Chain A
Amino acid sequence: MTDTKATGAAALSWRDEDVRGFGMAVGGRAQVLRPTTAEQVAAAFADARARGKPIALRGAGCSYGDAATNDGGLVLDLSRMNRLLDFDPATGVAVCEPGVTVRDLWRRSVAHGFWPRVVSGTMAVSMGGAAAMNIHGKNNFALGSFGECVRSFELLTPRGELVRCTRASDPDLFHAAIGGFGMLGCMTQLEIETKRVHSGRLRVSAIVAKDLEHNLQILEDMRGEADYLVSWLDLHARGAGLGRGLMHRADHLEPGEDPEGLRFLDPALQDVPPNLFGVVPKGWLWPGMWCAVHAGQVGLVNWLKFQAGFAEARKSPYLQTHGAFHFLLDYVPRWQWMTKPGGLIQFQPFVPAAAGARVLRTVIEKSQAAGHVPYLGVLKRHRPDPFLMTHAVDGYSLAMDFAVSARKAQRESLWRLCRELAEVVLAAGGRFYYAKDAVLLASSFPRVHGEPAVAAFRAQKAKWDPDRLLQTDLSRRLDV
C-alpha cells in the first residue's frame, strides 16, 4: 500500500495554473492536478500531506466566488472523473463519478423519460460540486435542494478512508458533507435520483410583474401548484417600478397531454438553441454585451428585456423543451467575459418570507443609492432543507450579479456595499449560499447558520479531516 502510494504520488504531475471562480474576480495561482481515479485522489491527499500544503476540491469551477480556489495551495480538479457508471432506465437512478456534469446526466436520462430532479441555470455544473455546494434550481420551493435527490455517496477522506454514506448509515456525515463545500472529503461516487417526465417539453408561461411586491405575490399565489417558478428582475427600475420583472412559471405535463413530447426525448433536441433569433451564432454575443456593460447601457438592455416580456406574456402558455427552459445561462457561451477585466461577483441573500419584501426592497435601494446597480437580478422561492450548512430558508432569494471594476477604489466600495447589505440580511435572519458568495466575513459565519450548527460542522471537520488538509479561499475567509 505504501509502495503504490509512493509511486502514485511520484507520478502525480501538478501544474501551476491560475485558478479563479466562475466570476473571475477572485482566485489565484495554485498547483492543479486532474485525477481520473479514486486511487489518484488518495495519492494526491497523501502528497499534499507530505508537502504540508492545503488542498482544495474543484468540480466544474462554476462557483462564482472562492469556493473552489486555493491561492498558493493545491487544487484537485475532478472534471476528468466523469464517467456515468450506471443508469437504471426503470427507476432513473444514476451512479456517477463526481466530474459527471448536469449535461452528461440529462443527456442520458432524458432519452429514457427522466429529468434530473434539481438542475442549476447552467448544465456545466458537476455532480460532486452540486452535492458539495447543495445547489438548488427553479423548483427549490417544491422539491428542495440537490442534496435531497442524492441517495448515497462514497467519500474519500483526507486520511485515505473510503466511506460509503447514506441518509440512514451516517445521518450526521450525510447532512454535513452535502452542502459542506468540500471540507470533509472527496465524493468519488454518487447515486442520484432523477424524476419521471411525461414529455420532452414543459408548459411555460410568462407573467409581467409590475414591482417587487407583485413578484412576491405571484410566487405566493403559484407555489402550491407550479413546478418551477423564477423571476427575472430589472434592478435598474426605481420608484413605483422598483423590483419589476418577468416571472416564468413552468409545469410538467401529464401522460398523453403532449404526445409530440415523445420526439423531444431525443437528447439532441433538448440542447439550448445554437443561434439567437435563428441567425446570430451565440459565441459572438459576449463582445456585444461587453460593450453594453462598459458603455453603461445595461439599464437600457434591462428596459428592452422588460418590454419584450409583454409580448412573451401574450403568447403564453407555450411549450418549451426542458433544456431550453432550464439552462438560460448556457444560451450565451462565455457570457461572463462581458465583465472583463474586473469580472463579476454574485450577491444572493436568502430572506425569510415575513421580512422578504422589506429586506429585498432595502437591498435594492441601497445598491442603487451606492451606484452599484446589478446588471442582473433573479428572484426565487425556497423552502428549508435538512442539511447542516444549508443556505435555504422558508422565504425568498434574490441573486444580484455585480460587474466588478478593475479600479481598486471601485472594487473596494462594491465589497463595502455587499458587506453592508449582508448586515441587513443577517439582522433579518437571512442566509447566504457559498456557491455564490465572495464577500462574507468570518464573523458572519456563525450568524448565517447559528452557533450550534457551526459547532456541529466543526466537530465533523475535526473527525474526518483533523489536520485541516482540505481548505479553500472560502474556508479560510470564513474561518471554518
Chain B
Amino acid sequence: MMRGAPGLGNGASDRAGTLRGGRFAFQPMAEFPSAMGPRTGTCLVVGASSGIGLALARRLALSGRKVAMLARRERELAAQAATTNDVLGRQAAFAFAHDAADLDAVESLFARIEQDLGPVDEVHFVAGVMPDVAIDEFDLGKDRLQVQVNMLGCIAWGNAAARRFLARKSGCFVGVSSVAGDRGRVGRPVYNASKAGMDCYLEALRNRLWRHGVQVTTIRPGFVETPMTAGLKLKGAIPADKAAELILRVRDRRKAVAYVPGKWRLIMTVIKLIPSFLFRRLSI
C-alpha cells in the first residue's frame, strides 16, 4: 500500500521485482546529477536524534554515505544510530553526543569527527528548540536557550565548516531554518527572531563562500510531523521523511533558499506582504 517516494528511484522496486531467493536485493540509489560530482565524503548532521535531522541522517546513510549523527540526548542518539546500522546491515551511522548550545565544543568535535571518519564534505544543521511560551510570558531563560541553540549553534557549526570548506574549495552546508523566521509573530517572538538571525547568517555565509565553490543552502520548512511539533495539530503537515527527501533534492539542485514543501514560498510571500499595521491585528 505504501509506495516508495518518488525521487529515490525505488518506486517500482517495492514490488516483487526485487525479490530474489526470498531476500530483497538492494541496489544503491543512483546519485542525482550534480555539479559537485559524486558525493563520497562523510556527512555531519547536527540534531539527528529525531524529526527532520533523523530522517536526513537515515536517507544519507541509505544513499551509501558515512553519517556522523550529533544530538544532545545521548540515549536516544545511540539507539537511533544502532537502529540505522541494524536495518542497513552495515556500519553507516556514528553517534556523537553534543549539545548544540555548547558552542565552545564545536571546533574540537569537528576535528575529532574528521579524524575518526575522514573529511566531512556535507554538514546539515537541523538542531532547534521551540519551548512552549505563554502569550504573556517573557522568560529570558527560554529566550536565551533558543538563541543559543537555533542561532549561535548554527553560527558555530557554520564557521567551523566554512573554514574547512574554504580551504578545500568545496563542501556543502545546509541550514534548516523555518518559515517562522519570515515574520515576527505574537506566539513565539524569540523563536521567530532566532530563526531570522540564523537565516540572515546563512545568506551572508553563502555570499562569502559561493565564489569559492562552497554551497550554502537555507531550508525553510513549513509544517512537518516531528516530535517538536507533536502537540500542535498542524494541518497538512508532511512526514519528516518527505521533508528530508525534498531537502536532499534542493541540495542536489544547489539552490540558495528553499521552502519545504514548495507551496510555502507562496504562502509566506503573501504573509510577508501583509503590512505591519494590519499584521499586528491578526491572530496568525
Contacts and interface: CB of A to CB of B under 8 A. Distances in A.
Contact of B58 (A258, A262, A272): A262
Contacts of B241: 263, 266, 268-269
A12 B65 CA distance: 58
B16 A112 contact: no
A260 B1 contact: no
Main secondary structure of the interface of B (DSSP, over half): helix
A256 B90 contact: yes
A199 B2 contact: no
A321 B1 contact: yes
Given A266-B240, A317-B16, A89 B86 contact: no
Contact of A199 (B16, B75, B80, B87): B87
Interface stretch (B18-26, B133-141, B274-282): B18-26
Nearest to A270: B2
A255 B2 contact: no
B89 A269 contact: no
Contacts of A89: 75-76, 79-80
Contacts of B4: 260
Interface of A: 88-90, 111-113, 196, 198-199, 201, 203, 253-269, 272-273, 315-321, 324
B83 A260 contact: no
Given A262-B88, A263-B55, 8 more contacts: A112-B79, A112-B83, A256-B87, A259-B62, A259-B88, A262-B61, A273-B1, A317-B16
A65 to B, nearest CB: 31
B190 to A, nearest CB: 28
Nearest to A253: B24
Contacts of A273: 1-2
Contacts of A316: 16
Please name the 10 residue pairs, one residue from A and one from B, whose CB atoms are nearest each other, closest first: A256-B89, A268-B239, A89-B79, A113-B83, A266-B241, A324-B1, A262-B87, A255-B89, A268-B225, A321-B2
A78 to B, nearest CB: 21
A3 B79 CA distance: 46
Contacts of B55: 263, 266
A112 B8 CA distance: 22
B2 A324 contact: yes
A181 B23 CA distance: 42
B50 A260 contact: no
B119 to A, nearest CB: 25
A266 to B, nearest CB: 4
A257 to B, nearest CB: 5
B102 interface: no
A460 B250 CA distance: 64
Contacts of B31: none
Contacts of A203: 24
Interface string B1-14: 11011001010011
Interface in B17-72: 19, 23-24, 26, 50, 54-55, 58-59, 61-62
A182 B26 CA distance: 48
Nearest to B64: A259
Contacts of A90: 75, 78-79, 82
Nearest to B55: A266
A320 B26 contact: no
Nearest to A199: B87
B177 interface: no
A91 to B, nearest CB: 9
B89 A257 contact: yes
B84 interface: yes
Nearest to A113: B83
Interface string B122-160: 000000000000000000000000000000000000000
B263 interface: no
Nearest to B93: A262
Contacts of B88: 255-256, 259, 262
Tell me which of B1, B13, B86 has the highest count of chain A C-beta atoms within 10 A of its own C-beta: B1
Contacts of B78: 90
Contacts of B10: 260
Contacts of A259: 26, 62, 87-89
